[in-house]
Amino acid sequence: MSLPTYIRRRRVADPAEYLHRAFGERQQLTDRAFWHRVLQLHKGWEEDYEGFYINPVKRITRPFWLLADRAADQALVVGASAASAKIPFTIDTSGHYEVAYLMFQATSSNFLVEVFDAGNNEAGFQNREIHAVTVAGTARRPFVLPESWVFNVEDAPRLLLVRFTDRSGSSNTIRWAFHGRRWFHKDSDGKVQEAVFRRFQRRERLFSYFLGLTGIPTGSTEDDNLPAIRLTADQAVLENRAPYFISTDEADTELVKLNFRSDGAFEFQLRETQSNGRILSNGFIRNTMGMGDGEFPFVFPEGYLLERNHRLLLELRDLSSAQNDIYATAIGRRLQYA
Amino acid sequence: MLDLSRAFGPVGGRAYTVLPDGSVRLDRAKRRVKPFTLLTEPESITVAAATDMTGGFFADQLPVPAIMEIDGKAPFEARYISFHARRTDTGVLNDQFTVKIMDPQERPLLMNREIHVRTLAGGFGSSLGAAANAGGRPLVLPETFFMDPEQGGRALVVEFRNLNTFEIAIRLGIHGVRYTDFRAYEKALREREEMFGRGRIAYPFFATTDRHVRLTASQADTFDLRLSDDSDAELVKLARYSDGNFLARIVEMDGKRYLDNAGQDTTGGQSGVFMDFMFGDAEFPFIPYETAYWERGTKLQVWLEDLSAAVNNVWVTLVSRKIRYGESIFEQR
């Protein structure tokens, strides 16, 4: 969400001062009616303004597109079924950067992607390779991260590394772009710089994270390292044989969106491994009714908190009557310090 | 006792409020504030074929003017724009024409130059699955636009220019709100003025390059885009229509600030952002994560490079709002 362009100009900037003026000197703090009055007056303070002014921070913030450093990598040719090197995307020191959208365009949309933060021990923003279709769109419908990725460049540039793996079986030319907000904070006075710095310190603790399927039954894919489950015609994988999303030790994950890419139709249900196997539906859901893609993701009506080391099983049944490779991605926000 | 009365957020809709005792109170102003669509007169405007499409894309085509007039009964607030166009001979849908909208009142043009209809109005469907001529995806204006017949705001003048060598019939509709309740209208106006400061009025603005972009095969060129001196401008959406693929960069000439890190290619030439990462169209415009607020007098440069290896007419539109210092509407009353 864009920062507000205009801000209310309050007659009294400090709510405490506003309340003090309203009450005068002595009040009985234990009086229930008094606290009701305080709440009423606080609402009054919120509504008491004499106009708006343009947000000064808007002068130093801009939309910003982050592309691969090298022009040749901006339209990267990835060999058939091959993986690329880790492609650098550098954020220079001219201002902090928040990534909010992911976009791609490719000869074939059938490829996998991994994003790493080189400035943070190459920590990944996913637990394994993720299918690009489930986490990226285009300008018309970009994939919106549920929580922006925040990169503080106060002291040094930051580097994102992105690796692509083709799954189309043919040479694949891939364009990839991050989009977000650039804070050209060094172009502002010290007070604004300080406020921006504080905000960025806080925001780095929360970030979006992609969970691919793990626990894929051995032999269900042509290559067990790929994050897809391959169902044979009309096959079902249920309960302990089902793959799952897992939130690992270091953080809780609030799942917000659920996306897929598959060769054919299937149906699914989500089952908790804790809580005696509670199922999040009263039956199997057809894929197009409960999963989306990067452009039109399925957004849970209520975020699902997957606590650390908990598993959420994805039970599946093929409906295509043919071999069916299914990639599923749960998109959420990582709560590292909860 | 646990008080859950506010636990699930506010209750109510725009037309009614649920009171704490469970009763429903209707908003009386809703009886006099209605949706309204402003059309051209007549509803369908026939635009003759451009006979010379060589050397320039509309070399001898004069624009065809039309008027969009409201009666004197009540003010109007414009919010969406949609269009429908067909060949008059075959009835086939068409989207190849430009539009310029002018306010004959004291306010300036709503655009610095004519712009392609696919960057101005919804209604032609899209590759994302919206059906052609579905009304569900009009362009939502980044800022509404007020027309008050009592203040001389009775009409808009539009100009259509055909980009085809055959005749087409165009319908253009501006959807909005009609205020037969004057108090509701004044409240809406006053809120607008409060947002942007006394005497400042905001309205939508469509900014495009100062000259038409026609790239030859693989050509790269830079095009000025001057934001006018009368107002600040805030970029809210980006839309484009083009014959083929292209790369783009937007540069602020004041301080040479780029909005990307595209850099240079191996030959030292410039590289840019692929069009589908920067621009949508009117139905699905690209809405940047952060708007860009540019002060009056800002000059931008748009760098474009053809990727289609053929002649490429490129129409880019920065769908913006202008925030203008001016005389207060309330002071005029």
Give yes or no for a contact between A323 and A230, defined as CB atoms under 8 angstroms apart: yes
Residue B248 has pLDDT above 90, yes or no: yes
Domain annotation covers residue A310: yes
Contacts of residue B288 in chain A, CB cutoff 8 Å?
2, 63, 179
Residue B313 has pLDDT above 80, yes or no: yes
**Same domain for A145 and A63:** yes
Counted residue by residue, chain A has a size of: 338
Cite the DSSP H helix spans in chain A: 15-23, 32-47, 71-74, 190-203, 287-290
**Same domain for A197 and A75:** yes
Contacts of residue B20 in chain A, CB cutoff 8 Å?
none
Q: What is the Cα–Cα distance from B316 to A35, expressed in whole angstroms?
A: 56
Q: How far is A67 from chain B (nearest CA, A)?
A: 6
Give yes or no for a contact between A178 and A101, defined as CB atoms under 8 angstroms apart: yes
pLDDT of residue B322: 87
Phi, psi of B73 (to 5 degrees): -75, -35
Residue B6: pLDDT band (50, 70, 90) is: very low
**Contact call for A64 and B196, based on CB within 8 A:** no
Residue B1 has pLDDT above 50, yes or no: no
Residue B207 has pLDDT above 90, yes or no: yes
pLDDT by residue (tens digit) across B124-172? 765 555 555 556 688 999 988 888 887 777 889 999 999 888 999 999 9
Contacts of residue A105 in chain B, CB cutoff 8 Å?
274, 276-277
Give yes or no for a contact between B328 and B196, defined as CB atoms under 8 angstroms apart: no
**Same domain for A72 and A198:** yes
**Contact call for B264 and A71, based on CB within 8 A:** yes
Give yes or no for a contact between B33 and B176, defined as CB atoms under 8 angstroms apart: no
**Same domain for A327 and A225:** yes
Residue A224 has pLDDT above 70, yes or no: no
Domain annotation covers residue A217: yes
Give yes or no for a contact between B50 and B60, defined as CB atoms under 8 angstroms apart: yes
Give yes or no for a contact between B242 and B317, defined as CB atoms under 8 angstroms apart: no
Residue B55 has pLDDT above 60, yes or no: no
Residue A45: pLDDT band (50, 70, 90) is: confident
Contacts of residue B257 in chain A, CB cutoff 8 Å?
62, 184
pLDDT by residue (tens digit) across A239-296? 888 999 998 888 889 999 999 999 999 999 999 988 788 899 999 999 999 999 999 9
What is the rounded average pLDDT of the residues A144-163?
91
The residues in B 184-243 lying below 8 A from A, measured between CB atoms, are 194-198, 232, 234-235, 238
**Same domain for A107 and A175:** yes
CA dihedral B220, B221, B222, B224 (to 10 degrees): -140
Residue A338 has pLDDT above 50, yes or no: no
Helix axes A32-47, A15-23, angle to 10 degrees: 120
Q: Provide Rg for chain A, Cα atoms.
A: 24
Q: What is the CATH number of the domain that holds A182?
A: 2.60.120
**Same domain for A139 and A41:** no
**Contact call for B291 and A2, based on CB within 8 A:** yes
- Residues contacting B130, CB < 8 A, separation 6+: B136, B137, B283, B284
Rounded mean pLDDT of chain B?
82
Domain annotation covers residue A1: no
Q: How far is B292 from chain A (nearest CA, A)?
A: 5
Q: What is the Cα–Cα distance from A183 to A163, expressed in whole angstroms?
A: 27
Q: Provide Rg for chain B, Cα atoms.
A: 22
pLDDT of residue B197: 59
Whether the ω angle into residue B35 lies within 30 degrees of 0, i.e. cis, is: no
Residue A38 has pLDDT above 50, yes or no: yes
Among A54, A69, A91, residue at a domain's last position: A54
Q: What is the Cα–Cα distance from A27 to A123, expressed in whole angstroms?
A: 55
Residue B218: pLDDT band (50, 70, 90) is: very high
Side-chain half-sphere CA neighbours of A113 within 13 A: 27
pLDDT by residue (tens digit) across B11-32? 434 677 777 777 777 777 777 7
Contacts of residue A65 in chain B, CB cutoff 8 Å?
259-262, 273, 277-278
| Domain containing residue A86 | 58-203
Among A181, A203, A225, residue at a domain's last position: A203
Contacts of residue A142 in chain B, CB cutoff 8 Å?
286
Residue B84 has pLDDT above 70, yes or no: yes
**Contact call for B260 and A52, based on CB within 8 A:** no
Site from A97, A107, A140 to mutate, B interface, most B CB atoms within 10 angstroms:
A140
**Contact call for A63 and B290, based on CB within 8 A:** yes
Phi, psi of B204 (to 5 degrees): -70, 150
DSSP assignment letter at A167: -
Q: In terms of CA atoms, which chain B residue is nearest residue A51?
A: B194
pLDDT of residue B125: 62
Among A179, A203, A227, residue at a domain's last position: A203
Q: How far is A25 from chain B (nearest CA, A)?
A: 31
pLDDT of residue B326: 46
**Same domain for A187 and A62:** yes
From the list B275, B278, B289, the residue facing A100 with the nearest CB is B289
From the list A58, A74, A181, the residue facing B271 with the nearest CB is A74
Domain annotation covers residue A272: yes
pLDDT of residue B196: 61
Residue B329 has pLDDT above 60, yes or no: no
Site from B232, B289, B296, B316 to mutate, A interface, most A CB atoms within 10 angstroms:
B289
Residue B7: pLDDT band (50, 70, 90) is: very low
Q: What is the Cα–Cα distance from B136 to B299, expressed in whole angstroms?
A: 35
**DSSP labels for B20-77?**
TTS-EEE-GGGGTEEEEEEE-BSSSEEEPPPS--SSSTTTT-PPEEEEEE--TTS-EE
pLDDT of residue A164: 97
Into how many domains does chain A fold? 3
pLDDT of residue A26: 60
From the list A63, A69, A100, the residue facing B259 with the nearest CB is A63
Residue B2: pLDDT band (50, 70, 90) is: very low
Contacts of residue A63 in chain B, CB cutoff 8 Å?
235, 259, 288-292
Site from A1, A2, A39, A150 to mutate, B interface, most B CB atoms within 10 angstroms:
A2
Neighbours of A23 (CB within 10 A): 13
Side-chain half-sphere CA neighbours of A11 within 13 A: 10
**Same domain for A183 and A263:** no
**Same domain for A300 and A180:** no
Q: How far is A195 from chain B (nearest CA, A)?
A: 18
Residue B58: pLDDT band (50, 70, 90) is: low
Q: How far is B17 from chain A (nearest CA, A)?
A: 19
φ/ψ bin of A136: left (φ > 0), alpha (ψ from -120 to 50), beta (otherwise): beta
**Same domain for A314 and A250:** yes
Domain annotation covers residue A33: yes
Domain annotation covers residue A65: yes
B25 vs B252, residue with greater confidence: B252
Residue B249 has pLDDT above 50, yes or no: yes
**Same domain for A197 and A63:** yes
CA B37 from centroid of its chain's CA atoms = 16
B210 vs B333, residue with greater confidence: B210
**Same domain for A67 and A141:** yes
Residue A29: pLDDT band (50, 70, 90) is: low
Q: What is the Cα–Cα distance from B212 to B55, expressed in whole angstroms?
A: 13
